[in-house]
């Protein structure tokens, strides 16, 4: 039974590391808490609540995987290498895709509940917001 309980201890240590040491995870964690609290207090249907919950945990899981990739690559090679940069960029891009998905889910569901807009309109608003996020990544403060 001890090894089973130890796995939870290790998992909590890993989550604690993410929250304390990874700024992006921390920001997404705080946003996720806000999004989930909003879901608890709004009259969502069961399927809507599921998609909100899934979206929050999906993004946090992707951010955790991104951190794993970065930590392993940094451990393996301290010097700059173009291939390592590519792998890290792909890993970060995966988090961006998950975040874009979550924005669409949120605008579809919260758009209907808070503003009475159709699912299609929520989808379009989500796409527009995603375009903005993508533009920030494309033209914003990345190091190159």
pLDDT (tens digit per residue) in 52-98: 999 999 999 999 999 999 999 999 988 888 999 999 999 999 999 99
Q: State pTM to two decimals.
A: 0.88
Taking the domain 2-139, which CATH number applies? 1.10.287.3610
Any known ligand binding at 48? no
Any known ligand binding at 63? yes
For residue 19, what are the contacts with CB-CB under 8 A and spacing of at least 6?
Answer: 25, 26, 29
Residue with tokens 């608003």: 125
Question: Taking the domains of the chain in order of start, what are their residue ranges?
Answer: 2-139
Kindly state the percentage of the chain with pLDDT values over 70.
97
Active site positions, annotated: 63
Residue 22 annotated as binding site = yes
């Amino acid at each position: 039974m001890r090894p089973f309980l130890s796995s939870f201890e290790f998992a909590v240590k890993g989550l604690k590391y993410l929250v304390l040491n990874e700024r992006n995870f921390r920001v997404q964690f705080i946003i996720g808490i806000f999004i989930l609290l909003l879901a608890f207090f709004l009259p969502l249907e069961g399927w809507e609540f599921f998609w909100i919950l899934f979206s929050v945990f999906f993004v946090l899981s992707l951010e955790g995987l991104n951190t794993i990739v970065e930590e392993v690559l940094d451990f393996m090679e301290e010097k700059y290498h173009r291939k390592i940069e590519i792998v890290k960029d792909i890993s970060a891009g995966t988090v961006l895709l998950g975040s874009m998905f979550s924005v669409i889910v949120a605008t579809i569901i919260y758009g209907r509940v808070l503003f009475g807009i159709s699912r299609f309109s929520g989808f379009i608003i989500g796409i527009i917001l995603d375009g903005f996020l993508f533009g920030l990544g494309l033209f914003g403060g990345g190091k190159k």
